[in-house]
């Protein structure tokens, strides 16, 4: 009987520890949502921007604006070997950590680049609107603004770098840090960040669109030359900056699973 009681107590203690580990992951999960909200823009608003710009490459070829999303994948393919072969050895020598930097630092760098990418996107969009105004295209929703779509390359490249740090970091972190018995939940937590981020992004657009319509000029007008996507990008940059500060605070107090076991 005593063995059964002791076994039951041990099992109960394990369940309590697993619950504590999951609760400790929640602040990291929540702050990563800002990253996912930002990343969702590459397949939505970035494409709408590109549709209004000069997409000609050379004399006859016209690149589809959605095709620029491939720049993200290309950047990841190019950057990850550079990260593994160049940056990790340097970081390893400086930090003494075999992986170069911790998983949380990798996610933090991804969050930092998400803020920078939104700042760049806002500046490019402001330039696009100014170009449309300069050429008298503000009231012409179907007009092509004489500004090359290649202006969008920088923000797509930044998205590739933020994915190489942030997405890879989140996958590694959540898979590694969930309790061993719940290891399959790690990938689910990572995917839930992306899914929830997409949902919040859509909700934000709907709410802001409704509010700004009442003031007479929607940020998301069908005529992008009269819209203000740049304001939305600045807003996301602000959200990202706040999330980054909170993330750093949570990361500093976070105890990794192996360290937690040894305490």
| Domain contains 16 | no
Taking only the tens place, the pLDDT of each residue in 142-178 is 899 999 999 999 999 999 999 999 999 999 999 999 8
| Domain contains 142 | yes
Domain that holds residue 177: 24-262
| Domain contains 7 | no
**What b-and-e string marks burial along 167-206, b requiring 16 or more CB atoms within 10 Å of the CB?**
bbbbbbbbbebbbeeeeebbeebbebbbebbbebbeeebe
17: pLDDT strictly greater than 80: no
Q: What is the DSSP letter of 107?
A: H
Output phi, psi for 138, to 5 deg: -60, -40
Residue-wise DSSP of 148-180: EGGGGHHHHHHHHHHIIIIIHHHHHHHHHHS-G
| 148 SS3 class | strand
Pairwise CA distance, residues 72 & 193, whole Å? 19
| Domain contains 10 | no
Q: How confident is the model at residue 13 (pLDDT cuts 50, 70, 90)?
A: low
For the chain, the average pLDDT equals 89
CB–CB of 219/209 below 8 Å?
yes
pLDDT given for residue 12 in this prediction: 61
Q: Token pair for residue 181?
A: 């018995």
Taking only the tens place, the pLDDT of each residue in 67-123 is 999 999 999 999 999 988 998 888 888 877 777 889 999 999 999 999 999 999 999
10: pLDDT strictly greater than 80: no
Q: What is the CATH number of the domain that holds 247?
A: 1.20.1250.20
| 57 SS3 class | strand
Dihedral of alpha carbons 24, 25, 29, 31, sign: positive
The count of structural domains within the chain is: 1
| Domain contains 131 | yes
Residue 194: which residues within 8 A CB-CB, separation 6 or more?
36, 39, 40
| Domain contains 77 | yes
CB–CB of 17/179 below 8 Å?
yes
**Helix 103-134 vs helix 229-253: angle between axes, to the nearest 10 degrees?**
170
| 18 SS3 class | helix
61 bridge partner residues: 57
| Domain contains 2 | no
pLDDT given for residue 228 in this prediction: 93
Pairwise CA distance, residues 23 & 93, whole Å? 33
* Percentage of the chain lying above the pLDDT 70 cut: 92
| Domain contains 18 | no
Pairwise CA distance, residues 114 & 188, whole Å? 22
Output phi, psi for 84, to 5 deg: -70, -40
- In this structure, the dihedral spanned by the alpha carbons of residues 116, 108, 37 and 198, taken in order and rounded to 10 degrees, is 140
């Amino acid at each position: 009987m005593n063995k059964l009681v002791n076994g039951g107590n041990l099992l109960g203690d394990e369940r309590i520890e697993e619950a504590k580990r999951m609760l400790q992951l929640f602040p990291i999960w929540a702050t990563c949502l800002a990253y996912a909200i930002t990343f969702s823009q590459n397949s939505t608003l970035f494409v709408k921007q590109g549709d209004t710009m000069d997409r000609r490459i050379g004399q006859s070829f016209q690149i589809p604006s959605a095709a620029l999303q491939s720049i993200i994948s290309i950047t990841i393919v190019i950057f990850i070997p550079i990260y593994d072969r160049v940056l990790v050895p340097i970081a390893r020598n400086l930090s003494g950590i075999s992986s170069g930097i911790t998983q949380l630092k990798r996610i933090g760098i991804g969050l930092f680049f998400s803020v920078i990418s939104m700042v760049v996107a806002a500046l490019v969009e402001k330039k696009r609107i100014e170009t449309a105004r300069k050429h008298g295209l503000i009231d012409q929703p179907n007009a092509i603004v004489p500004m090359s779509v290649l202006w969008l390359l920088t923000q797509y490249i930044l998205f590739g770098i933020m994915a190489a740090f942030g997405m890879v970091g989140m996958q590694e972190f959540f898979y590694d840090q969930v309790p061993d018995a719940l290891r399959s939940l790690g990938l689910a937590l990572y995917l839930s960040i992306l899914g929830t981020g997409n949902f919040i992004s859509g909700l934000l657009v709907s709410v802001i669109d409704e509010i700004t319509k009442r003031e007479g000029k929607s940020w998301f007008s069908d005529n992008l030359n009269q819209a203000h996507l740049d304001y939305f990008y600045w807003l996301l940059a602000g959200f990202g900056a706040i999330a980054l500060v909170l993330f750093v605070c949570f990361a500093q107090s976070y105890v990794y699973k192996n360290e937690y076991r040894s305490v």
